[in-house]
Amino acid sequence: MKKYWQTARRKLSFEKTLVMAILNVTPDSFSDGGDFFSIDDALRQAESLVEAGADILDIGGESTRPASRRVSSEEEIRRVLPVVEAITGRFYIPVSIDTSKSEVAAPAIEAGAEIINDVSGLRFDEKIAQVAAAENSGLILMHLRGDFETMHKQSPVEDILKEVSEAFRRSIEKAESFGVKPEQIALDIGVGFSKTFNQNLELLAKLDKLVAEFPNFPMLVGTSRKSFIGKVLGDASVDERLGGSLASAVIAVWNGANIVRVHDVKATIEALKVVEAIKREL
């Protein structure tokens, strides 16, 4: 059992699975129809996620979905900073900043975020590790291959478990070389990033092997509403993926995940309460 996860403001315990709720501030989410994000909308959304039982709010201002375009640091800061400030000022809930840019991570932590969610595992900007070390923040190291433009276009590797395991080791080593402590780090297999459809399924099916290989690091898994679920369900739209999202979160937790990143907080918590009740009888 991992002891705790060190963030910039507290130690998070893993007595139960932590539910990280997704709060996007990209133009297709909290837009007032134009270029501005309504802080009131963001606060309302945060309030409903907190009331539903979220343990962490993950705030992101740059979409990483296939075909997304990179936004400048200035634009990302303009999108996320007021929201991080407003939410951390109103709620006592850990906030993670979903960014792979150190220029965004630093002011976001200053504004009250306490975890950096780096989907690139320090591949896009290793100075993220400098920020995490200086601020004693949590640091999520997710697996992907390629750069921002090519991460969804990589040709498949033969052995995805070996690839993810080796990449985890490189990311951990890089983080520690900047002074990040092991207890600040969480690992993430990066479902939907640089993997084939079958490799996403294989990673979830065999997650227990990676968990056993990295026993000192919490494992985070994000499957919520992702396209592999749509494919399994016969081209189900994003709105039709709740059952599949819950099934994949249940499998991830059964196989050792400590944190799940989700859209549907209440339904996920209910599903995980049942998983944890069953697991206690093992």
Active site residues: 226, 261
Cβ at position 191, least distance to ligand 9MG in Å: 5
Nearer to ligand 9MG, 81 or 204 (CB): 204
What would the x/- binding string for ligand 9MG be over residues 172 to 201, using CB under 6 A?
Answer: ----------------x-xx----------
Spatial separation of the C-alpha atoms in residues 173 and 182, rounded to whole Å: 10
98 binds ligand 9MG (CB under 6 A): yes
Position 120 contacts ligand 9MG (CB under 6 A): no
Least separation in angstroms between residue 180's CB and ligand 9MG is 16
Cα 91 to the center of its chain, rounded Å: 20
* Residues 156-175 interacting with ligand 9MG (rule: CB under 6 A): none
Contact status: 45 vs ligand 9MG (CB under 6 A): no
173 burial (CB, 10 Å; 0-12 / 13-18 / 19+) is exposed
Query: For residues 144 and 201, what is the distance between their CA atoms, to the nearest angstrom?
Result: 16
Using rule CB under 6 A, residue 222 touches ligand 9MG = yes
What number of chain residues touch ligand 9MG (CB under 6 A)? 13
**Is there binding between residue 119 and ligand 9MG (CB under 6 A)?**
yes
Strand ranges in the chain using DSSP code E only, listed in sequence order: 4-6, 11-13, 18-24, 56-60, 95-98, 115-118, 138-142, 185-188, 219-221, 259-262
170: alpha, beta or left? (left if phi > 0; alpha if psi -120 to 50): alpha
Give the residue at shortest CB distance from ligand 9MG.
222
Distant-in-sequence, close-in-space partners of 1: CB < 8 Å, separation ≥ 6: 14
Give the footprint of ligand 9MG on this chain (CB under 6 A): 60, 64, 98, 117, 119, 140, 142, 188, 190-191, 220, 222, 261
